[in-house]
Amino acid sequence: MANFLYFYFMEIKLRQENKDDFESVFRLIEKAFEKEEFSDHKEQFLVERLRKSDAFISELSIVAEIENKIVGHILFTKLEVKNESQIFHSLALAPVSILPEFQGKGIGGKLILHGHETAKSLGYKSVILLGHQDYYPRFGYELCEKYNIKMPFDVPSENCMVIALEKDALKEVSGEVVYPKAFFE
């Protein structure tokens, strides 16, 4: 009961990550993915590489804090969707990480929605991700295959998702996703 009340009244602050957070965020990601079956347990290193890459957008590396403790983190980085004649600019959502003891309390959802709003304010029109088919559709994600957007590797189509951040943003979009190089290093 005490636990329930604590989470009911806790104030969650979402803000841009800064360099003093890097170490806490590294440990947080490590812990969040520790027991995840479909993980290489190296997501914390991916975030370190992405921060140093051209794909990084500082406003879209966001932390969730409770009483000055960082309990969640989300990162959106630049990616492209390319076909024979066009290049579309979009974002990759990866990863989103919540400390195990704070999971299932809506913090991941808050970070995703806040990230969408920030991305929109920066002029981005869509987000693409690889993730669990039961989690992301609640935020409006749809299958990439609906838009003829293809991943550059073999993954189940149910895990490849995209969201339009504004109406008709995906109307003209089709092609293959080009992830930043940092994803494959």
By the rule CB under 6 A, 162 interacts with ligand COA: no
- Taking CB under 6 A as the criterion, the residue among 33, 141, 147, 179 binding ligand COA is 33
CA–CA dist 3, 103 (Å, integer): 13
By the rule CB under 6 A, 94 interacts with ligand COA: yes
By the rule CB under 6 A, 97 interacts with ligand COA: yes
CA–CA dist 71, 29 (Å, integer): 10
- H/E element, 174: none
- Taking CB under 6 A as the criterion, the residue among 12, 25, 32, 128 binding ligand COA is 32
Burial of 94 (0-12, 13-18, 19+ CB in 10 A): buried
By the rule CB under 6 A, 160 interacts with ligand COA: no
Residue nearest to ligand COA (CB): 108
Determine the interface stretch with ligand COA among 107-115, 157-165, 167-175, 176-184 (rule: CB under 6 A): 107-115
Q: What is the CA radius of gyration of the chain?
A: 16
Site for ligand COA in 125-144 (CB under 6 A): 131-132, 134-135
Q: Other C-beta atoms within 10 Å of 110: how many?
A: 16
By the rule CB under 6 A, 183 interacts with ligand COA: no
Residue with tokens 């109307």: 171
Residues in Cβ contact with 172 at an 8 Å cutoff, skipping those fewer than 6 apart: 86, 88
Determine the interface stretch with ligand COA among 13-21, 82-90, 95-103, 118-126 (rule: CB under 6 A): 95-103
By the rule CB under 6 A, 69 interacts with ligand COA: no
CA-angle at 163, arms to 160 and 166, nearest 5°: 160
CB of 85 to ligand COA, least distance (A): 32
Residues in the site for ligand COA, rule: CB under 6 A?
Answer: 32-33, 36, 94-98, 103-109, 131-132, 134-135
